[in-house]
A and B are shown apart, each in its own frame.
Chain A
Amino acid sequence: MVLKTYKLFINGQFPRTESGRSIKIDGLNGQALAHVCRASRKDLRNAVEAASAAQSGWAGRSAYNRGQILYRMAEMLEARAGEFTDVIASTVDDGCEAAAREVQAAIDRLVSYAGWTDKFSQMLGTHNPVAGPHYNFTVPEAIGVVGVVAPDALPLLGLVSLIAPALCAGNTVVALGSEAHPLATAIVGEVCATSDVPAGVVNLLTGLRSELVEHFAGHREIGAIHAANLPGEQAERLRAGSAENLKRVVVRAIAEPEGWYDESACHSPWWIEPLIDFKTIWHPSGI
């Protein structure tokens, strides 16, 4: 049998890493399953270029249309639920039932944020009382390019949970998938490619966090980082590297695995809130 070599997903295409490196993925029984790309700093750079170019178009779509596309992603993910379950269960030692539960939760998460696209601004935007003849509004806007660094555990649900709120608000995403279990990340690229997601809106890398976090932190075009359950040293490098360029760094601490299944927390607009900027508008009235 020829082992599949999964590629990166950048700008709607599936390029090999420019570095030519790959990582062999072994199954639980020790048998080689596939290869994935070990992305480099330059792959990250290319992904950010694509995400940056796609951002204004994505944010400029109607919120309703972004919702339709996120919903379509959920549908495509559901259509491949069996494949995702097999792939997760092949490297994560929790059994098929846990894998199937994770896939179902990832589908639900996408559906939830598909619904939030045209609703979160009503929740997070405000009409402010001011002492003068003005209406004063505060409205949320996308930050731009959001860097996602996914946790090792729950390779599909973790990744989707971090990406969906960013996309929901009109950001484009450059994501580094689970380092320990990268196969699901590679297949999410295939889901995006068949879901009307415009090229460059979702870009997916596989590789080593230790190699890439400092470039996520340092790249000035990345406006925010959305990560979870990183080793303390890597979270610290993300924060320290972002100090100079003032990007927002959100490293969530989620109890594994149950925290990821807590819908009241994970389906909340507060997951969107760190990934937007607020714009306040003064509008004359009653003059």
Chain B
Amino acid sequence: MVDERAASFAKRSIKTTMKGAGLRLAVSMVDLTTLEGKDTPEKVRALCRKAVCPHEGGQIEPALPHVAAVCVYPSMVRTAKAAVAGSGVKVASVATAFPSGQYPLDGRLADVRQVVADGADEVDMVINRGAFLAGRYDEVAQEIREVKKACGPAHLKIILETGELETYDHIRRASDLAIEAAAVDGDLADGEVFIKTSTGKVSPAATMPVTLIMLEAIRDHYLATGVRIGMKPAGGIRTAKSALHYLMMVSETLDEHWLSPHLFRFGASSLVNDLVRQALKLSTGTYAAGYDTSVS
């Protein structure tokens, strides 16, 4: 049922004016990500420049918006923060022993406090999948509560790593658990907490059925409490076409409030280039070359 419903969104076609609006919206929702062992400050600065100005050629009128955030490893937070200063682009950092989460809790919490102290606006945590799959739900929930406290004012994104959760039932259970655990200190503000599919280090990463299940958990939480939790599919979304399919799914599963970077993000690195290429096609009428966009 979920598979059929999710597949139905990929059959829609959006053209011309609406496509242009959708591309711009999608750009504004990207968490432009680099999470590699070989990352350097120079690479992070290049990424930040692209985040602030996704296309510098000037052929796209009006110019594309900046992306929502850059997403980096903890050691790069200060570099990224300085590079995007004044632009409106947020800095998100992975933490809690990303991507495995297989470190003692103290270390994971120290990780979070460090990135917040370094200026991260958003923290992307991983849940303890081992504990979750072993049925130790209270342990998982308690860890999320402690991470949420350690975040202070920073927004929290909770990575379920759905590629490791094995069944759709588990994904729904983990979504509910994460949302409820994060809300422990009274009401959350809209967008203060996101749930996120994947680290990008495990295959499969984000898929449409998985995202749909998580959106439904968000919807049910909203109907019960009036609080809007955010959603971030991450990994594997590389084309403008698939980004538009996701937006379609969001708008039909939730409502227009979620069609905003405050409540919906794409975790991606190469997606921005394809969005730029499609926007170039719309504004110039010709297909772009690989060298028309920066390296992703």
> Which A residues have a C-beta under 8 Å from some C-beta of B?
45, 48, 52, 215, 218-221, 244-245
A214, closest chain B residue (CB) = B286
In the complex, are the beta carbons of B285 and A220 less than 8 A apart? no
> Which B residues have a C-beta under 8 Å from some C-beta of A?
285-290, 292
In the complex, are the beta carbons of A45 and B290 less than 8 A apart? no
In the complex, are the beta carbons of B289 and A218 less than 8 A apart? no
**Beyond the given A45-B287, A220-B286, A221-B289, could you list 12 further A-B residue pairs with CB under 8 A, ordered by the A residue number?**
A48-B287, A52-B290, A218-B285, A218-B286, A218-B287, A219-B286, A219-B287, A220-B287, A220-B288, A220-B289, A221-B287, A245-B286
Question: What residues on B are CB-neighbors of A221 within 8 Å?
Answer: 287-290
Interface centre among A48, A215, A219, A244 (most CB of B within 10 A): A219
CA distance A245 to B288 in the complex (A): 10
CA distance A215 to B287 in the complex (A): 8
CA distance A48 to B287 in the complex (A): 10
CA distance A244 to B289 in the complex (A): 13
CA distance A219 to B280 in the complex (A): 12
CA distance A45 to B288 in the complex (A): 10
Is the contact region of chain B dominated by helix, strand, or loop, or is it mixed? loop
Number of A-B contacts (CB under 8 A): 22
CA distance A45 to B274 in the complex (A): 14
Question: What residues on B are CB-neighbors of A48 within 8 Å?
Answer: 287
B285, closest chain A residue (CB) = A218
Question: What residues on B are CB-neighbors of A244 within 8 Å?
Answer: 286
Question: What residues on A are CB-neighbors of B286 within 8 Å?
Answer: 218-220, 244-245
CA distance A48 to B277 in the complex (A): 14
CA distance A142 to B254 in the complex (A): 50
Sample 22 A-B pairs with CB under 8 A, ordered by A number.
A45-B287, A48-B287, A52-B290, A215-B287, A218-B285, A218-B286, A218-B287, A219-B286, A219-B287, A219-B289, A220-B286, A220-B287, A220-B288, A220-B289, A220-B292, A221-B287, A221-B288, A221-B289, A221-B290, A244-B286, A245-B286, A245-B289
Question: What residues on B are CB-neighbors of A220 within 8 Å?
Answer: 286-289, 292
Question: What residues on A are CB-neighbors of B287 within 8 Å?
Answer: 45, 48, 215, 218-221
How far apart are B139's CB and chain A's nearest CB, in angstroms? 45
CA distance A52 to B289 in the complex (A): 9
Q: Which 4 A-B pairs have the closest CB atoms?
A: A220-B289, A218-B286, A221-B289, A219-B287
CA distance A215 to B281 in the complex (A): 12
CA distance A45 to B286 in the complex (A): 10
Question: What residues on B are CB-neighbors of A215 within 8 Å?
Answer: 287
Question: What residues on A are CB-neighbors of B292 within 8 Å?
Answer: 220
Interface centre among A48, A215, A221, A244 (most CB of B within 10 A): A221
B239, closest chain A residue (CB) = A49
A220, closest chain B residue (CB) = B289
How far apart are A205's CB and chain B's nearest CB, in angstroms? 15
B288, closest chain A residue (CB) = A220
CA distance A218 to B289 in the complex (A): 10
CA distance A274 to B290 in the complex (A): 21
CA distance A219 to B292 in the complex (A): 12
A44, closest chain B residue (CB) = B287
Question: What residues on A are CB-neighbors of B288 within 8 Å?
Answer: 220-221
CA distance A62 to B50 in the complex (A): 36
CA distance A70 to B287 in the complex (A): 30
CA distance A57 to B286 in the complex (A): 26
